[in-house]
Chains A and B, each alone.
Chain A
Amino acid sequence: MIRCGVDIGGTFTDVVLDHPGGRATTKVLTDYARPEDAILEGIRLTADAAGVALSDLGQVIHGTTLVTNALIQRSGPRMAFVTTEGFRDVIEMRSENRFEQYDLNLRLPEPLVPRKDRFTLSERMSPQGDVLRPLDPDAVEALVRDIAAKDYATVAVGFLHSYANDAHERVVYEFFSRIAPDLPVSISSRVSPQMRELPRFNTVIANAYVRPQVAAYLDRLVTRLREAGTDAPVYMMHSGGGLISVETAAEEPVRLLESGPAGGAIFAAGYARAHGIGRALSFDMGGTTAKICLIEDGAPKTASSFEIARTWRFKKGSGMTVSTPVVEMVEIGAGGGSIASIDALGRIQVGPRSAGSEPGPACYQRGGQHPTVTDANLTLGRLDPEAFAGGKIPLSTEAAERALAAHVGQAQGLGPADAAFGVTEMVDEQMANAARVHAVENGREIEDFTMIAFGGGAPLHAARLAEKLGIAAVLVPPGAGVGSAIGFLEAPVSYETARGLFQRLDTFDAGTVNAALETMEAEARRFVEAGAQGQATETRLVAHMRYSGQGWEIPVLLDSRVFGEDAPAKLRAAFEEAYRTLFGRIIEGLAVEVANWTLSVATPKPPRAAVTRRETGRKAEGKARRFLDAALRAHVDAAEVARADLSPGDRVDGPAIVTEDETSTIVTSAFTCIAQDDGSLLLIRKDRT
């Protein structure tokens, strides 16, 4: 089948087309006003290059930042939120803390729905799902008529404990269907039926907020594709790293958050599988941010909630937490365009402010006056001023040095080269610290991981980052510039359902749990089977468990989905194993409980042909270059080799630079680089070869 992956990013729309003759890729500029225009243009160009007719397309797989952007830019329509009386302000009170301790003029993010648009109804469920206060149908009808009469374009409903009993939310939904059938209504027990009101309300609100925009966009996209002569079904990449149908996406657009980065993680996971890398750290560095993700046994690590639309320096707590399945990623404000400056203590600071692509780094000479990471790399000889972006953007070393001198060097009493060294070391240090903390939070040792580096900036920084982290090997796959779109083509069709069903193990009710899990599996299966096209599926069940009295849960992967009398013992054993892995110990004699359950159904990961690792090979010669090796604190004579000239097995000993159109791979003195059979570059620390 001919499949086409489309990733809309901030600057470029990437198209990848897999056809019997191979793989074709295209980059076109993103069209902000009408993203579908760029997609059509990209698909046409790619199909032409591949010699494929649009009518032969079998599948179009799409990921977009539209949802993320709509939430960051607050470009959604006016919406109403209906909630339980007494809880009108959950989304405004948040967790009642300040994300920045020392700022007296702190601004908290504004809630997506202002207070005047939040309505309450008298009703209440208990945590067990019993009705504590009934819902009055007359009051519902009056409120629904009131909302319908105003100019709200979309509605969200979230009642307390609705994950335990959705009856009241359904009543409200039905009144809306009857009285205002054209008004889209999202209910929390459908979108995210998990315990904890703040993330659940955030999730249903985010969903409702972007729904009209996303539905209209997907509708236009499908229509345009039809008009262009293809009736290929469209699948959307979701944040959990799988595919859903375009119809599901229109109803639950919150699942589309961060789908581009998820594609990147899937791309890296494919290479981890091909190269037999059990523990991989994917490192994706672009113009404004760097993203880090742990990949174990060929699958990116996932989480059931994450924070979106951070309003202050990517700081934890400055955005809104939503509970939807997601590939777990750490994002830091460090990219090629990140601006370097001197702080009040006279220290070099890099990011999170970015020069972006306009005006861009000082060396672009398009008006950027501030020194960026790219300027520092250029000054240190790590970028070739004539060959950047295949020679399309000539870089001015002089402008880079001028900016570094003015904004970093003078205050520090340093020349441009030393200032540049300080800037790259500081940005590498920031990324290394973030990666280390992320590994610690997951109970892992970062030294055990192999890095997979992609995105324009990553190959420049990967070796130094690996030195700082004690990582022994780095893989730089080919095609890294369109990694996310390639990842889309490798993603399984998958759907995850979550359910808040509280169970203490000492009073475990197997019947209730079994029935709930059966419903969840049937629901997930319904979403997957249409796209699975007869493929076998895999089901995965995770219980989110804790010791009684703890305020947080850990995910525990279970191998059985039907529970009998021995369930408490089995669940306890699985919990203790997971707890020990994460925290190094267990606590005897405490009760254990389950708060939420998540169940996912997915088609299998596409098989990857194993690539036999080559660790030695013929030494390739290159022309002479000089660059600064950060670990040695010295300029070194390096070999410059074009990636295109390397054949499998060719070896380039560091210090070396392997160049290609989109980026360069820096091989520091500590590493040797060997070209692999699939076009990847493998950097191995010399003391490990």
Chain B
Amino acid sequence: MSIDAQIMWNRLIAVVEEQATTLVRTAFSTSVREAGDLSAGLFDARGRMMAQAVTGTPGHVNAMAESVGHFVDAIGRQTMKKGDVYITNDPWLGTGHLHDITVVTPVFREARLIGFFACTAHIVDIGGRGFGPDANEVYEEGLLIPISRFADAGEVNAFLVDIVRANVREPVQVVGDIYSLAACNEAGEKRLQAMLDEFRTDDLEDLSDFIAKASHQATRAAIAKVPDGTYTHEMTVDGFEAPVEMHVTLTVAGDRITCDFAGTSGMSRFGVNCPEVYTRAYACYALKCAIAPEVPNNAAALEPFEITAPEGSILAARRPAPVSVRHVMGHLVPDVVLGALHKALPATVPAEGASALWNIQISCRPVDDASNLPRREVLMFNSGGTGARPALDGLSATAFPSGVSTMSVEATEQVGPITVWRKELRPDSGGAGQQRGGLGQVIEISPREGYALMFNAMFDRCAYPARGRDGGGQGAPGRVELTDGTTLRAKGRQSVPEGATLRLSLPGGGGYGDPGARDRDAVRADVAAGYVSAENARKTYGLEDDT
């Protein structure tokens, strides 16, 4: 294996990481900066993804890989010029909802097109109803920019900028973020050109072939170790207006895997639908974690995973379905896929977890309109527990499959007039098992004096909690309520009046294996720490201590 090719591969991964770093630093959007909701990658002239940065968003894996092909089709290779920058936020051609803007920049060497840099980021606003599941069609969710030229031979398309500016709530930030996206591709190109100078080559094709061959071989070798067969699995989740059935069929034949979602429920009237590209991203992420985690993301590493969902299902929504908060269903996809894979590879994958993030966007409104109190928006990212692993407990209050981070409560309280009275682990919420599920958390929030809160609930695993595996118990279901005992709905717009306190009890992860087989000292330690109550330890784990 050529050493130069290895060094260049290594360099390309550094180049896309640098591209992503540039974007994280310059983007305004909180979800980019705090949650890593972005992606960045390099493609060869044929549109094959050669390298992709590892960011907080598995939802962009695959989606990113497919996007450049759409741009090539729409723009036409022959019309591409140096200094061009292309853009779209089409959910079906990008990464699943209008809030993600994808920017693609062609790279030329000696006037010859040799590849593309692409990047995607979640922007603060895209007009329409604002970020939430309420729309019934994508048209209500905001502005859709078809694949178009943001810059033509270095000249920015002023008309397009004006359209964006006129259609979003935070024009300065949104347009600024589009420039950031273009700048991050530029930073990547500069490094790539320097590398090509250093290695005295004018082409990416040989290197791309090398990367493809090594990645393909490693991925296929990993898949070949999975026993051949057809494995099906089903999971019911809360959904929006009705429970959603997710059905999956995995077929392993030699060194290929197909994953199909036939039998899955139809679309929702609300914005929790996933374009197929987003479903593929999360299904593929789950399979890759379990089967070939060490192979870097590129087209060849993803290609052996063939993922399909029937058009018109909630996992392959048809235009013009609303898709704004497609992450809620998308985050649950890995659980059902891993459930099927468990039948092929016992003792490998975790039990089901809370999985869907419990993000909450809170609008703080003065109770008295005549008061001079300002309106404020607060966004919090929160995670429940992950499923127990075959040899390890689940992770408490930790995001999976998403890779996002939470924000400091002190910083959040500086942003808006709320008080977070509690944000701590939720005892007895981890599913019982030889390995215990990760704990969820309890969050209590009230408005400061003079304010009431509105929030858009998009919480799952309240009616259908995370199931355990191999005899493990289920994680505690989620609950949404006021501390005075008023029960609230898990989906939809609701309010918290002045003086009241909202309590979110986030779901726990499922357990793994028979609780009776759990190490007695581990149960005692859980009781001492308060992860498990003494009563539960007796009842569920059969701990006979007097303590």
Please say whether chains A and B are actual partners in one complex. Answer: yes
Q: Is the CB of B17 within 8 A of A96?
A: no
Contact of B410 among A101, A195, A429, A468 (CB under 8 A): A195
Interface string of B140-182 (1 = CB under 8 A from A): 0000000000000000000000000000000011001001000
Residue among A107, A433, A547 with the highest chain B CB neighbour number at 10 A: A433
* In the bound complex, CA of A552 to CA of B29 (Å): 11
Contact B381 A96 (CB under 8 A): yes
- Give chain B residues whose Cβ lies under 8 Å from the Cβ of A440: 18, 21-22, 25, 187
Residues from chain B with Cβ under 8 Å of A412 in the complex: 1, 3
Report A-chain residues with C-beta under 8 Å of the C-beta of B414.
127, 195, 502, 595
Give per-residue flags for B428-465: 1 if the beta carbon is below 8 A from chain A beta carbons, else 0.
00000000000001001000100000000000000000
Q: Chain B residues near A551 (CB, 8 Å)?
A: 30, 33-34, 407, 411
Q: Which chain A residues numbered 347 to 365 have a C-beta less than 8 Å away from chain B?
A: 347-348
Contacts of B191 in A (CB 8 A): 436
CB distance from B512 to the nearest CB of A (A): 12
Point out the residues of chain A lying under 8 angstroms from B139, CB to CB.
none
Question: Are A116's CB and B529's CB within 8 A?
Answer: yes
Q: How far is the CB of B281 from chain A (nearest CB, A)?
A: 13
Residue pair B415, A588 in contact (C-beta under 8 Å): no
Q: Interface majority SS on A: helix, strand, loop or mixed?
A: loop
Report chain B residues within 8 Å CB of A595: 411, 414
Q: Is B469 part of the contact surface with A, judged by Cβ < 8 Å?
A: no
Give residues 19-71 of B contacting A (CB, 8 Å). 21-22, 25-26, 28, 30, 33-34, 54, 56, 58
Q: Do the beta carbons of A343 and B397 come within 8 Å of each other?
A: no
Given the contacts A102-B289, A418-B3, A96 and B398 also touching, CB distance less than 8 Å: yes
Judge whether A344 and B7 touch: CB under 8 Å.
Answer: no
Q: Which residues of B contact A103 (CB under 8 A)?
A: 289, 293
CB distance from B529 to the nearest CB of A (A): 4
Given known A97-B399, A105-B391, contact A344–B18 (CB-CB < 8 A):
no
- Nearest B residue to A423, CB-CB: B3
Assess the B398–A108 pair: CB atoms within 8 A. yes
Cα A445 to Cα B218 with chains together (Å) = 36
Q: Assuming A104-B289, A104-B349, A195-B414, is B6 touching A348 (CB within 8 A)?
A: yes
A95 partner residues in chain B, CB cutoff 8 A: 405-406
Tell whether, in the assembled complex, residue B290 and residue A104 are in contact, meaning their CB atoms are under 8 Å apart: yes
A115 pairs with B529, CB closer than 8 A: yes
Tell yes or no: A151 within 8 A of B by CB.
no
Interface flags for B350-381 (1: CB within 8 Å of A; 0: not) read 10000000000000000000000000000001
CB within 8 Å of B: which A77-134 residues: 85-90, 92-93, 95-98, 101-108, 114-116, 124, 126-127, 132
A346 touching B382, Cβ below 8 Å:
no
In the complex, chain B residues 112-139 whose Cβ is within 8 Å of any chain A Cβ: 124
Question: CB-CB < 8 A to B403: which residues of A?
Answer: 97-98, 101
B533 contacts A by Cβ under 8 Å: no
Question: Which residues of chain A from 322 to 343 have any CB-CB distance to chain B below 8 Å in the complex?
Answer: 343
- Which residues from chain B contact A161 at a C-beta distance below 8 Å? 410, 413
Task: Name the residue on A nearest B219 (C-beta).
Answer: A345
B214 and A347 contact, CB distance less than 8 A: yes
Minimum CB–CB distance from B274 to chain A (whole Å) comes to 20
Whether the Cβ atoms of B396 and A92 lie closer than 8 Å is: yes
From B21, B296, B399, give the contact of A441 (CB < 8 A): B21
Contact of A97 among B1, B56, B424, B448 (CB under 8 A): B56
**Closest A-chain residue to B377, C-beta based?**
A549
Query: Contact: B33 with A552, CB < 8 Å?
Result: yes
Query: Does B17 contact A437, Cβ atoms closer than 8 Å?
Result: yes
Given known pairs A124-B419, A549-B30, the reply for A93 and B425 (CB within 8 Å) is yes
Q: CB distance B419 to A198 under 8 Å?
A: no
- What's the least CB distance linking B119 to chain A, in Å? 15
Interface string of B387-413 (1 = CB under 8 A from A): 001011001111110011111111101
Q: Does A422 contact B (CB under 8 A)?
A: yes
**Interface flag for B231 (CB, 8 Å):** no
Asked if B10 lies at the interface with its beta carbon under 8 angstroms from chain A, I say yes
In the bound complex, residues from chain A placing their C-beta under 8 Å from that of B389 are: 104-105
Chain B CB within 8 A of A589 CB: yes
Judged by a CB distance under 8 angstroms, whether A471 is at the interface is no
Cα distance A104–B423 in the bound complex, in angstroms: 26
Any chain B CB within 8 A of the CB of A258?
Answer: no
Cβ 8 A contact of A196, one of B194, B296, B411 = B411
B11 close to A (CB within 8 Å): yes
Seed contacts A93-B424, A196-B411; 16 additional CB < 8 Å A-B pairs: A93-B423, A101-B58, A104-B289, A115-B531, A132-B419, A197-B410, A348-B3, A426-B6, A436-B14, A436-B18, A437-B21, A441-B21, A549-B30, A587-B28, A587-B176, A595-B411
- Can you give 10 contacting A-B residue pairs, CB < 8 Å? A93-B396, A96-B405, A108-B398, A114-B529, A132-B419, A161-B413, A346-B218, A425-B7, A468-B198, A552-B33
Residues of chain A at the chain B interface (Cβ within 8 Å) = 85-90, 92-93, 95-98, 101-108, 114-116, 124, 126-127, 132, 160-161, 195-198, 343-348, 412-414, 418, 421-422, 425-426, 429-430, 433, 436-437, 440-441, 443, 468, 470, 500, 502, 547, 549-552, 582-585, 587-590, 595
